[in-house]
């Protein structure tokens, strides 16, 4: 358990984005059909005025921003109330959706980039906008966790993450225990950062992905970390005087509850350090991971 936890702690510290084009090279071929079917089902439910069906297409903890009012709500019940209001208007709005690209960041997370056209219920077209949707596979179903637009909301979220823009690029680190490779990019509309990582330690390896975004409900930067074996962690980022502190809670693939605190500190434009403190797994206190130096890889 300690070795697995050690690798996962490194994973939680290091992840940040790839774009929305082809599939990640470390993943097996994954079928985008379930995502496209989810998009079609969403469009159908919206145009039928079925708010209940739409709400069931979101995760229990999803965050939704009402484009009309700017109100941000969290949770399936609150999302249901939003769509009951939107679809109860007369004339009822209509929607057409087109997926421009789908990228799988792990077997349980996908990012869709698409275009939406909204009309007021007549033949007159009112609005066209581009969006980015994050899907999570829960219980065999691909569910929406959040959606951002390229216009107002994406610009706002991008500004919240500007303090982390220096992470974009490729990074490497090597210690006596592990070798780490990390790639960070913006998503297409720059509303999220994602980090893909690869870690090798004592003959064991781990690959995974982390998404970093702005949580408008908690009003803080938040991250979601996934590895190829099914481990998951949710992190809350807090900026200190010269460092970032990330408090992570999650589960290993066998259901063991884990927690850790990562401390990330920029040294200069081409290097940063991280260390991991307060590690726990299944109620067991584990040793801290000493500070590691990462350096930028020239493109």
Q: Say whether pLDDT at 27 is over 60.
A: no
* Pairing verdict, β 220-227 and 72-74: unpaired
Q: Which of 112-126, 128-142, 178-192 has the highest mean pLDDT?
A: 128-142
pLDDT of residue 207: 80
Residue 167: pLDDT band with limits 50, 70, 90: very high
Task: Between 83 and 209, name the one with better pLDDT.
Answer: 83
Cβ burial 39-58 (10 Å sphere, 16+ → b, else e): beebbebbeebebebbbebb
The C-alpha atoms of residue 48 and residue 221 are separated, in whole angstroms, by 36
Q: Say whether pLDDT at 24 is over 70.
A: no
The C-alpha atoms of residue 186 and residue 178 are separated, in whole angstroms, by 26
The pTM of the full predicted model, rounded to 2 decimals, is 0.61
Residue 28: pLDDT band with limits 50, 70, 90: low
For residues 195 and 14, the answer to whether their CB atoms sit within 8 Å is yes
Residue partners of 93: CB distance under 8 A and separation at least 6? 46, 86, 87, 118, 119, 120, 121
The helix/strand/coil state of 241 is coil
Class of residue 122 by CB neighbours under 10 A (exposed 0-12, middle 13-18, buried 19+): exposed
Residue ranges of domains in the chain, CATH in brackets: 2-22+159-297 (2.40.128.20), 33-157 (3.10.450.50)
Closest Cα to residue 240, out of 264, 267, 213? Answer: 264
pLDDT of residue 15: 36
How confident is the model over 177-192, as a mean pLDDT?
83
How confident is the model over 64-88, as a mean pLDDT?
86
pLDDT of residue 254: 79
pLDDT of residue 136: 92
Q: What percent of the chain has pLDDT over 90?
A: 28
The C-alpha atoms of residue 264 and residue 75 are separated, in whole angstroms, by 30
pLDDT, tens digit, 9 for 90 and up, residues 215-240: 877 788 988 887 777 777 888 999 98
pLDDT, tens digit, 9 for 90 and up, residues 243-286: 999 999 888 877 888 889 989 999 999 999 988 888 888 888 88
pLDDT, mean over the chain = 81
The C-alpha atoms of residue 50 and residue 57 are separated, in whole angstroms, by 11
pLDDT of residue 108: 85
The C-alpha atoms of residue 145 and residue 63 are separated, in whole angstroms, by 6
Q: Say whether pLDDT at 131 is over 80.
A: yes
Residue partners of 122: CB distance under 8 A and separation at least 6? 91
pLDDT of residue 225: 83
How confident is the model over 135-157, as a mean pLDDT?
78
Closest Cα to residue 253, out of 148, 107, 51? Answer: 107
The C-alpha atoms of residue 299 and residue 45 are separated, in whole angstroms, by 45
């Amino acid at each position: 358990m300690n070795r697995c936890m050690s690798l996962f702690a490194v994973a939680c510290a290091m992840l940040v984005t790839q774009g929305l084009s082809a599939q990640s090279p470390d993943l097996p071929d994954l079928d985008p059909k379930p995502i496209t079917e989810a998009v079609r089902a969403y469009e159908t439910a919206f145009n039928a005025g079925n708010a209940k069906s739409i709400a069931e297409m979101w995760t229990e903890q999803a965050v939704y921003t009402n484009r009309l009012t700017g109100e941000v709500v969290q949770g399936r019940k609150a999302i249901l109330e939003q769509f009951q209001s939107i679809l109860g208007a007369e004339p009822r709005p209509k929607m057409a959706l087109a997926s421009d690209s789908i990228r799988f960041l792990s077997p349980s997370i996908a990012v869709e980039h698409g275009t939406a056209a909204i009309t007021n219920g007549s033949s007159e077209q009112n609005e066209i906008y581009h969006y980015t949707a994050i899907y999570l596979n829960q219980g065999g179903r691909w569910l929406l966790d959040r959606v951002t637009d390229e216009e107002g909301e994406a610009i706002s979220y991008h500004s919240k993450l500007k303090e982390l823009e220096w992470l974009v690029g490729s990074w490497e680190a090597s210690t006596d225990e592990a070798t780490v490779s990390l790639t960070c990019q913006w998503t297409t509309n720059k509303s999220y950062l994602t980090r893909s990582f690869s870690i090798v330690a004592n003959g064991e390896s781990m690959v995974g992905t982390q998404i970093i975004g702005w949580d408008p409900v908690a009003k803080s930067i938040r991250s979601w970390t996934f590895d190829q074996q099914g481990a998951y962690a949710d992190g809350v980022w807090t900026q200190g005087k010269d460092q970032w502190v990330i408090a992570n809670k999650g589960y290993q693939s066998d259901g063991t509850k884990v927690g850790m605190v990562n401390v990330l500190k920029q040294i200069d434009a081409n290097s940063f350090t991280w260390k991991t403190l307060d590690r726990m797994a299944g109620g067991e206190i584990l040793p801290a991971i000493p500070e590691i130096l990462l350096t930028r890889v020239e493109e």
